Amino acid sequence: MTGGAGFIGGVACRALSAAGHGVAAYDDFSTGHDWATGDARVFRGDIRDRAAVEKALREFRADAVMHFAAKAVVPESVAEPGLYYDVNVTGSLRVLEAMRAAGVSRIVFSSSAAVYGEPERVPIEEGAARRPINPYGRTKLHFEEALEDHRVAHGTSYACLRYFNACGAAPEWGLGEVRSPETHLLPLVIRAGTGGPPITVTGTDYPTRDGTCVRDYVDVRDLADAHVRALERLESGRGSAYNLGSERGTTVREAIAAVAAVLGREVPSVDGPRRAGDPPALVASCAKARGELGWEPRRTIEDSIRAVLEFVRSRGGMEVR
């Protein structure tokens, strides 16, 4: 697994182990943490280093790859597109080349709802137009297309899992989201509700029920479960894409209210301007994952908030360590 020391990769490592799979984490620890990899064998390296990826695949005798490693902050992708194309496209191609050299032909790829850009309608189905509106989304789309070309040319089997907004934690495994700077809404709202700075609501004039952006928050444990299913059902020579969301749209104000309700206290917020490139509403249809993977989003946003609070309390705070 690449990116196994990251937020979603770490939880997927444990879920795979729990399902009886041997797991190795290949990671450069640029945003990952050494406490996140658990019992997985660790290979420290950059995905852009094809030879090192190949060596790890051979040493571990890998028979499939889960590819989580990426740069994944949208505003940073606008400011530094070269870095995003280098890691997310070139680096991902290096992983594919290493797989071919090591005789590994199955890959589960962490794609994103960002490939859809501003969808014409919600809920979004997998066949919707993919017109990303930022460099991050474009890098994910480029690699999705590269996977299909490799399937045709070399028989690579792949599943692109398009996550919506990943959230939550897996406190039972001591895992959760720890970033610096924090960029995701729910951790920022929880921080605001537990003595941190007020949360800024970025845009209050969207055409939505309360004027704030609608997003689909999907629990990281549900995502990990989808990865295990996608891997176990990956058919030889086949390529598929699946949306992974909760199928529930939540506005920013509703997310703040949900955190306040779980905490039992007010969460301070201030209204701010829109951020460039934020679509008004992103909500997944997961009918395809339900039908083909037998997967269901099982946790609600309140479950995810409770899990984050448990994780934060177990660490004694939200700061990066």
Ligand X SMILES: NC(=O)c1ccc[n+]([C@@H]2O[C@H](COP(=O)([O-])OP(=O)(O)OC[C@H]3O[C@@H](n4cnc5c(N)ncnc54)[C@H](O)[C@@H]3O)[C@@H](O)[C@H]2O)c1
136 catalytic per annotation: yes
Binding site residues, ligand X, CB under 6 A: 2-3, 5-9, 27-32, 46-48, 68-70, 72, 87, 91, 110, 112, 163, 165-166
Between 31 and 240, CB nearer to ligand X? 31
| Per-residue CA distances from 27 to 10, 43, 98, 103 (Å) | 11, 7, 15, 21
Between 268 and 315, CB nearer to ligand X? 315
- Report the distance separating Cα 251 and Cα 248, nearest Å: 10
Between 46 and 303, CB nearer to ligand X? 46
Write the DSSP symbol of residue 174: T
Amino acid at the residue 222 = D
Write the DSSP symbol of residue 197: P
In three-state secondary structure terms, 276 is coil
Least Å distance, CB 165 to ligand X, is: 5
Least Å distance, CB 33 to ligand X, is: 7
Taking each helix axis from N to C end, the angle separating 50-60 and 92-102, rounded to the nearest 10 degrees, works out to 40
Least Å distance, CB 184 to ligand X, is: 6
Between 24 and 270, CB nearer to ligand X? 24
Least Å distance, CB 198 to ligand X, is: 23
Task: Mark residue 124 as left, alpha or beta (left: phi above 0; alpha: psi -120 to 50; beta: remaining).
Answer: beta
Least Å distance, CB 111 to ligand X, is: 7
- Report the distance separating Cα 188 and Cα 256, nearest Å: 10
Dihedrals phi, psi of 274, to nearest 5 degrees: -60, 155
Residue that the structure tokens 């290979």 belong to: 43
Between 6 and 280, CB nearer to ligand X? 6
Per the residue annotation, which of 26, 84, 116, 136 is the catalytic one? 136
Catalytic residues: 136
